[in-house]
C-alpha cells in the first residue's frame, strides 16, 4: 500500500516523485516502463544521435499514414527510461510565450496564466546566469549557456540579424521574439534530465520506491467504478497489483497517458467497445485534441570544416582534441546538442506574437539523424516549425494488449492555414540562409533536391519531407467543456483519486519546446496534490 502511485518517470513524473516524497510521511511509488538511465549516451549530449537509433531507450513510435504528407508514416521517437524524453531530447530550455498560458486561463482554467506558472518555472530552475525576475537559481534543473559556440551557429545568429530580425539574449526573458543562442539543460557538459535533476537526490529516500521495466496494464477501480484504488503492471512476465490510499497520478506523456486510461475503461464508448474493453467511465475527450509541431528542414553542404558532421576531422584527427575539450574543460563538440542556435519570428508582421521557431543544426540531417551516410561530410540544417497549428489528431488503441503501441493519427496539415504558415516559414528560413554571413560556408543545397522557386515548390517540399520535431501534447486536455479530460486541478473528470500530470493536459500547444513546461506543470501539480491532501486530512480530523 502506497499513498501515491505515479505512472511514468518522465519529465513530469520525476518531479512528482521528488516533491511528493519530500514529506517522509508520504509513501510514494513511481512505475517506469523503461530501464534505469545508466547508459553513457544519455549523459553525453552528443549521444542524442545514438538515442534516436536505440531499440531499448526509445519507444520508436510511428504514426499512421499521414494523408497530407504523401501517406508517409512519421517516426515519433520518445524516451523510454528514467527521465523519459528529457533523457533523449536536444536539451533546449524554452518555456513558450506568455500569451500561451494566458490563453489557457481564458479557456476557463483558473490559476494557469503565465504569472501563475512563472513561480514554478523559477522554482525548478538553477539558472547559471543568476537569479532575476524571470529566472531562479536554487532549483535542481541546471540551465546553462554553451561555453564555446560553434562558428556555424554564430553565423546563423549573424545572418538572422542581417535578415532583419532582432538578436535575443534570452528567449525566456521579457521578450521571446528574435534570433539567438539557446540555453540547455546541462551541468558541466552533461545532460541534466528530469531524472538527473529531480530523481537522483530523492531516489535513496526510504519512502520512495522506483520500479523500472514495468509496463502498466490498467488502473484499478473500486467496486462502484467511482475511484481509482491501484495499478496493475507487468514485469518479468508476471502481473503485479499495488494499491494507493490517496491518489494515482498518470504521467506517461501524450501517447501513453490516454492509452492507459483507455485500457482501464476510461474513454470514448465506441473506441473501448471496439477492442472488447469494459466501459468503466465514458469520457469522450481521451486521446483527442492531439497537437504537435510539424517541422521541415533546409539542408546545405558547408564549404568550411566547422560542422559536427561525420568527417575525417571529427572522427579521426581531432578526436583527442574533442576529448580533451570535453573531459577537462566540459565544452566542445561532445557537449553540444548540435542545435546551439535558433529563434522565434513572425510569419508576417500582423502576427501578435512569434508563430515560427528555428532550430539550427550543426550537421546534415535526414530521417532524424538515422541516415548516417547523409551525415558524411560538412553541412548544416535549418529546422522550421509552425508553433500553433490548427490541425488536430488522435491517439487511439490498436488493441486491448498493453504491450502493443497506441495508434497515432497526427492528422497534420488538415487545416489549410497550417500549410500557409509553413510556406511562409520556409521563405523566412531561406532569407536567413541566403544572408551574407553564410557566404563563406554556403555550399550546394541538399534538401530539398530541387529548387524552391515558388509556393508550389515549397508545398511539395513540405509534403515530401516534413517531420515531427517531438512535441506531442493535448490528448488529456484540461478544461470544462465536453471534450476535457481533467479539470484545472488536473483531476480526471468524474473519477475520484485520479489525476493526469504531463504535457497531455495542455489544452493548446505552447510556442516552443515542451520539456520545461512539462516540468512546470508537474511542479504546480505537486503543490495542488499536497494542498488537497492537507484539506482531506483536516476534514478527516
Backbone torsions φ then ψ of 533, nearest 5 degrees: -65, -40
3 state SS of 62 = strand
**Can 471 be counted among the known catalytic residues?**
yes
3 state SS of 214 = coil
Quote the CA–CA distance of 114 and 134 in Å, as a whole number.
11
Is 454 exposed, middle or buried, given 0-12, 13-18 or 19+ CB atoms closer than 10 A? Answer: exposed
Question: Which run of H or E residues covers position 250?
Answer: strand 238-250
Instruction: Name 390's Cβ contacts closer than 8 Å, sequence gap at least 6.
Output: 415, 417, 418
What distances in angstroms separate CA 527 from CA 225, 273, 506, 521, 532, one per listed residue?
Answer: 27, 37, 18, 10, 9
56-64 own/partner pairs: CB under 8 Å, 24+ apart: 56/80, 57/81, 57/87, 57/88, 58/88, 59/255, 59/405, 61/255, 61/405, 61/406, 61/408, 62/408, 63/408, 63/409, 63/410, 64/407, 64/408, 64/409, 64/410
Helix-helix angle 515-540:114-124, to 10 degrees: 100
What distances in angstroms separate CA 317 from CA 57, 139, 312, 379, one per listed residue?
Answer: 31, 40, 7, 18
Catalytic site residue from 97, 126, 359, 471: 471
| CB contact at 8 A, 429 and 422 | no
Closest-CA residue to 91 (of 195, 170, 189, 185): 185
Quote the CA–CA distance of 342 and 322 in Å, as a whole number.
24
Is the alpha carbon torsion for 311, 312, 317, 323 positive or negative?
Answer: positive
257-275 b/e (C-beta count within 10 Å ≥ 16 → b): bbbbbbbbbbbbeebbeee
| CB contact at 8 A, 308 and 502 | no
State the catalytic residues.
471
Amino acid at each position: 500500500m502506497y499513498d501515491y502511485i505515479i505512472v511514468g518517470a518522465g519529465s513530469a513524473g520525476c518531479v512528482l516523485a521528488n516533491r511528493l516524497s519530500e514529506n517522509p510521511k508520504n509513501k510514494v511509488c513511481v512505475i517506469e516502463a523503461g530501464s534505469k538511465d545508466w547508459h553513457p549516451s544519455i549523459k553525453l549530449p552528443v549521444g542524442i544521435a545514438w538515442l534516436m537509433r536505440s531499440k531499448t531507450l526509445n519507444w520508436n513510435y510511428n504514426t499512421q499514414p499521414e494523408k497530407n504528407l504523401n501517406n508517409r508514416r512519421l517516426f515519433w521517437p520518445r524516451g523510454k527510461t528514467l527521465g523519459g524524453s528529457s533523457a533523449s531530447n536536444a536539451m533546449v530550455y524554452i518555456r513558450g510565450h506568455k500569451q500561451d498560458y494566458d490563453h489557457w486561463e481564458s479557456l476557463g482554467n483558473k490559476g494557469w496564466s503565465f504569472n501563475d506558472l512563472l513561480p514554478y518555472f523559477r522554482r525548478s530552475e538553477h539558472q547559471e546566469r543568476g537569479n532575476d525576475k524571470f529566472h531562479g537559481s536554487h532549483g535542481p534543473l541546471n540551465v546553462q549557456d554553451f561555453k564555446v559556440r560553434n562558428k556555424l551557429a554564430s553565423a546563423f545568429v549573424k545572418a538572422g540579424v542581417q535578415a532583419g530580425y532582432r538578436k535575443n539574449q534570452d528567449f525566456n526573458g521579457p521578450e521571446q521574439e528574435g534570433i539567438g543562442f539557446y540555453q540547455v539543460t546541462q551541468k558541466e557538459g552533461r545532460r541534466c534530465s528530469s531524472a538527473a535533476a529531480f530523481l537522483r537526490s530523492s531516489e535513496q529516500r526510504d519512502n520512495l520506491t522506483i520500479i523500472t521495466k514495468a509496463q502498466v496494464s490498467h488502473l484499478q477501480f473500486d467496486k462502484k467504478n467511482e475511484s481509482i484504488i491501484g495499478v496493475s503492471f507487468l514485469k518479468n512476465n508476471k502481473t503485479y497489483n499495488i494499491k494507493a490510499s490517496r491518489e494515482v497520478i498518470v504521467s506517461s506523456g501524450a501517447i501513453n497517458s490516454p492509452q492507459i486510461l483507455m485500457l482501464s475503461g476510461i474513454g470514448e464508448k465506441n473506441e473501448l467497445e471496439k477492442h472488447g474493453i469494459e466501459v468503466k467511465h465514458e469520457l469522450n475527450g481521451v486521446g483527442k485534441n492531439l497537437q504537435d509541431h510539424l517541422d521541415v528542414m533546409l539542408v546545405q553542404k558547408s564549404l568550411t570544416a566547422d560542422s559536427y558532421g561525420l568527417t575525417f576531422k571529427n572522427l579521426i584527427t581531432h578526436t583527442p582534441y574533442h576529448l580533451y575539450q570535453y573531459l577537462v574543460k566540459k565544452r566542445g563538440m561532445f557537449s553540444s546538442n548540435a542545435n546551439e542556435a535558433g529563434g522565434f519570428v513572425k510569419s508576417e508582421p500582423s502576427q501578435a506574437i512569434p508563430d515560427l521557431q528555428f532550430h539550427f543544426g550543426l550537421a546534415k540531417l535526414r530521417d532524424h539523424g538515422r541516415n548516417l551516410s547523409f551525415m558524411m561530410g560538412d553541412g548544416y540544417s535549418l529546422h522550421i516549425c509552425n508553433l500553433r497549428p490548427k490541425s488536430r489528431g488522435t491517439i487511439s488503441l490498436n488493441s486491448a494488449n498493453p504491450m502493443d503501441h497506441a495508434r497515432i493519427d497526427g492528422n497534420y496539415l488538415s487545416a489549410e492555414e497550417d500549410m500557409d504558415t509553413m510556406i511562409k516559414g520556409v521563405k523566412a528560413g531561406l532569407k536567413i540562409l541566403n544572408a551574407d554571413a553564410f557566404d563563406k560556408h554556403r555550399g550546394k543545397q541538399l534538401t530539398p533536391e530541387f529548387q524552391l522557386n515558388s509556393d508550389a515548390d515549397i508545398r511539395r517540399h513540405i509534403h515530401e519531407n516534413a517531420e515531427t520535431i517531438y512535441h506531442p501534447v493535448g490528448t488529456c486536455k484540461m478544461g470544462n467543456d465536453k471534450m476535457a479530460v481533467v479539470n484545472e486541478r488536473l483531476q480526471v473528470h468524474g473519477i475520484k483519486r485520479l489525476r493526469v500530470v504531463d504535457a497531455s493536459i495542455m489544452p493548446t500547444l505552447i510556442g516552443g519546446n515542451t520539456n520545461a513546461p512539462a516540468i512546470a506543470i508537474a511542479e504546480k501539480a505537486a503543490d495542488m496534490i499536497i494542498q488537497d491532501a492537507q484539506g482531506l486530512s483536516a476534514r478527516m480530523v
